[in-house]
Amino acid sequence: MNTIRFDIDADGIATLTIDVPDQSMNVIGPDFLADLDAAITRIASEEAIKGAVIGSGKDSGFMAGMDLKYFASMLGTADGSRPAPAAIFDKVFVLNGLFRRLETSGKPVACAIEGTCVGGGFELALACHRRIVGDSPKTQLGLPEILIGLFPGGGGSQRLPRVMGVQASLMYMLQGKLFRPAEAAMLKVVDQVVPQGTAVAAAKLWVKANPSANTQPWDVKGFKVPGGAGGFNPGFVQTMAAALPMTLKQTQRNMNAPIALLSAVYEGITLPMDRAIRVESKYFAKVAADPQASNMIRSLFVNKQAAERGARRPKGEAKAPTKKLAMLGAGMMGAGIATVAAQAGIEVVLFDRDQAYAQKGKAHVEAVLTKRLGKGMTPEKLAETLARVTPTTDYAALAGADFVIEAVFEDVAIKAEVTKKVEEVLGADTIFGSNTSTLPITKLARAWSKPENFIGVHFFSPVEKMPLVEIILGKQTGPAAIAKALDFVSQIKKTPIVVHDSRGFYTSRSFGTYVQEGAELVGEGVNPALIENAGKQLGMPTGPLAVSDEVSIELGVKIMTAAKKELGDAYVPQGSDDIMVKMVDAGRLGRKNGKGWYDYPEDAKKHLSPVLGEMFPRAAQQPDVEAVKERLLYRQLIECARCFEEGVLETPEDGDIGAIFGWGFAPYTGGPFSHMDTVGISHVVAVLDRLAASHGERFAPTAQLREMAANGATFYRPVPSRAAA
């Protein structure tokens, strides 16, 4: 066996130690499936084996789920087409069949869990007769597959409801929510919590003491699902009746996996396990056969993981972790960056022009950490982390910093002044990063004597929660600066993308089109409620008007005004420009002053302002919701495509990751580039041509899109001329 070490002790207890080679975490791949098959055969057939314990040989944890690269290969055929659901069923049922053989082997099997146990790894645990977990605060257990467009396909959708009840299990599976050991024990998801490092020994003791405990509860005649199940059980009927509309509302009918999960649970829960797992595999195959699942897996897992592991890091550059960070600006962004840096063990000098502002920034760090007390944060750890942050107004205090991030006011002159003063202290060999969200990095780099050491490091608000960091390369940015920035992002456990310089870069520029199109629709007399609902139905986190209020209408106007001044005659006016100016002139600046597209009464929920009807009279004929969704979607798609054609983006992977994690582009699509590939570039061009004819040149397809459509190319299969350029 290549992935499982099989040992038998003097008591006849077989210990299966999973250790998948060349993987940091145990995952399920073809070698593991073959080895588990052989191991189950031995457990079941050899009389000398009285029972078995399954554990892990890795410090990283017990086991994650399926090797998703292997899973992706299961969904392809020799000619590049997707296999039929029936063929996929045969492939995915292999795992279900193995786990069923394990729990009906006739021998007691205990699972000894130390560390992470999720996805297929947790489904393996559920197929064991006893689950024992080491009590580590870092240990997490559960079934998070829904987060990447799948649902539990190794029996999890059938066993977990039989363990903890239908309602409770659906709450966890539909959200991809994980358990901590104590919580899992309370809900009877695990049978025993033991001191960390003793799970295998405890599992062996249980197997030795319970030689006849070889049958799962659901295989015993008269078994009843906790809380009840079936069409005649009022609680079950009520749970399923409520779950469907709630799920449809939360997913806006865009996600396949949650509905398939509900169907699998509803149909399988009253069936014998042998039939129930076939029901699960039927629905799992249906989900897997749709491009939605593979797109989500590629962007939300495979490509995201590759980015975090340094896919865009320059080869040959030595590791350059940050030890002392000079954080310039103690406002919301600066304080947020200081927080995540201090948590990563980095010393932070938090600089601002006024000591009160600097102290306020440190107070923000303390407030964020205090909220985490009892959630992995202890008073001692809080004090230790907070001690790493030094607020100051003295440039001399920055001495010794090996990385600088600037987050001062978005003004070229102000940034240049601060940049030059920092260079006087640190010298131009230090890598300098700017957190600007719109100003061109090449221009800002002029204030640093060595522009090859200047780079954009664009965070998203709130920094503590938002996972993306957009690394922006100026025309002269060198490999040492790229490596330094990416190593810092890795230290603070964020996901990076790397883009080239342009006004607004990739994320701010493309996200802005969503807001702009919403404003244009209002200006045309479209009902604001229709616009907002269309945005949410599209799969965006909020409507374009609500998000415009959050980031500030006034800020949008300031950015537009600065762009006009900078670009002069080259500036391309947008229909939304005058609409946004009209809002600001009317004193409607956004949430920050209590009135924007929405009104924000102190004693009630926000609501779309009735003033909008007076400022922008409603059109007599309103478009249908699909037409509004189409405009909001394709306005973003064409801007993303322009960024790719112009070289702002080098890879579609960065484009998809940046869109989903940067501005919340509909995750079920896998990102704008995956979506365009899936619907077909020819279709995209046709829709854009139609929209351009009806609504203006902002929708006009790029030359590259037309070339791709003519060649039958996709973004993930690059256009030949681009590859040769």
CA distance 143 to 155: 11
Kind of pairing between the strands at 61-63 and 116-118: parallel
Q: Is 211 exposed, middle or buried (0-12, 13-18, 19+ CB in 10 A)?
A: middle
Which phi and psi angles does 432 have, rounded to 5°?
Answer: -115, 125
Residue labelled with tokens 């609500």: 546
Total residues found in the chain within this entry: 725
According to DSSP, residue 210 is labeled -
Among the listed residues 593, 587, 595, 598, the one whose alpha carbon sits nearest the alpha carbon of residue 522: 598
Which tokens in the block code for residue 383? 């004090």
Q: Which amino acid is at 334?
A: G
CA distance 307 to 499: 13
CA distance 29 to 569: 58
According to DSSP, residue 435 is labeled -
Q: In this structure, are residues 539 and 254 in contact, taking their beta carbons and an 8 Å threshold?
A: yes
Which tokens in the block code for residue 547? 């998000």
First to last CA, the chain: 48
| 145 catalytic per annotation | yes
Catalytic residue among 103, 114, 145, 347: 145
| 280 catalytic per annotation | no
Residue spans of beta strands (DSSP E) within 115-244: 116-118, 130-134, 141-142, 178-179, 192-194
Q: In this structure, are residues 83 and 101 in contact, taking their beta carbons and an 8 Å threshold?
A: no
**Residue 211 to residues 6, 9, 12, 106, 220: CA-CA distances in angstroms?**
19, 15, 11, 10, 17
Catalytic residue among 123, 347, 470, 517: 123
Q: Is 572 exposed, middle or buried (0-12, 13-18, 19+ CB in 10 A)?
A: exposed
According to DSSP, residue 302 is labeled I
CA distance 110 to 86: 33
From edge to edge, which strands make up the β-sheet containing 468-473?
A: 389-392, 347-351, 324-328, 403-406, 431-434, 454-459, 468-473, 495-500
Q: What share of the chain is helix, strand, coil (3-state, %, to 5)?
A: 55, 15, 35
Element (H, E) at 304: helix 304-308
Query: DSSP per residue over 159-184, as a string?
Result: HHHHHH-HHHHHHHHHHT-EE-HHHH
Among the listed residues 121, 127, 424, the one whose alpha carbon sits nearest the alpha carbon of residue 277: 127
Q: In this structure, are residues 434 and 456 in contact, taking their beta carbons and an 8 Å threshold?
A: yes
* Buried-exposed string 652-669: b where 16+ CB fall within 10 A, e elsewhere: bbbbbbbbbbbbbbbbbb
Q: Measured at the alpha carbon of residue 483, what is the angle toward residues 338 and 462, in degrees to the nearest 5?
A: 30
The helix-helix angle for 355-370 and 332-343 (nearest 10°) equals 50
Query: DSSP per residue over 554-605, as a string?
Result: HHHHHHHHHHHHHHGGG----HHHHHHHHHHHTT--BGGGTBSSEE--TTS-
Active-site residue numbers?
123, 145
